[in-house]
Amino acid sequence: MCALIAGCQDPPFDRLREVLRQVCSQTLEAGTLAEVGRILRSRTDISIVFSAPALKDASWRDVANLTRFSPQAPMLVLGLEGADPSTWTELLENGGFGLCTSPWQLQTVRVTVRTAFRRWVRTAQIAEARAENLRHIHAQRYAS
């Protein structure tokens, strides 16, 4: 399970990065939106993107747009020091998967990561099944 950590380079996120390195088989880091985009275009194995509220040049909303339209459609998790209901609602409206708030405890982050990964796998399976159905429909049309 590969996670991209976006904009979490500042000290408040040190613990989150440490926990993610324990939970995920591989972690990559990006500090800017351009780096996030480059990594998402070059890697197809990224299942989860953890984003800070702000990157050097963008916000988590911009990261949400990149994840929503990337081919592998990773699950977006927003890392916050504190959250309110309006942030949660806005995250869901922007295609996000979930929130992780500090203090970032190993077990809590592990559950979030596993759940996001399972959803990512299931979403990919559904997309593949739909594509297979379309291929089958087209093959039947041309066979007739």
Statement: residue 144 has pLDDT above 70: no
Lowest mean per-residue pLDDT among 25-39, 90-104, 125-139: 125-139
Question: How confident is the model over 84-117, as pLDDT tens digits?
Answer: 888 889 999 998 999 888 888 999 999 999 999 9
> Whole-prediction pTM value?
0.87
The CATH homologous superfamily of the domain defined by 2-143? Response regulator (3.40.50.2300)
What secondary structure, in 3-state letters, does the chain show? Answer: CEEEEECCCCHHHHHHHHHHHHHCCEEEEECCHHHHHHHHHHCCCEEEEEECCECCCCEHHHHHHHHHHCCCCCEEEEEECCCCHHHHHHHHHCCCCEEEECCCCHHHHHHHHHHHHHHHHHHHHHHHHHHHHHHHHHHHHHHC
Query: What is the band of 26 on the pLDDT scale with cuts at 50, 70, 90?
Result: very high
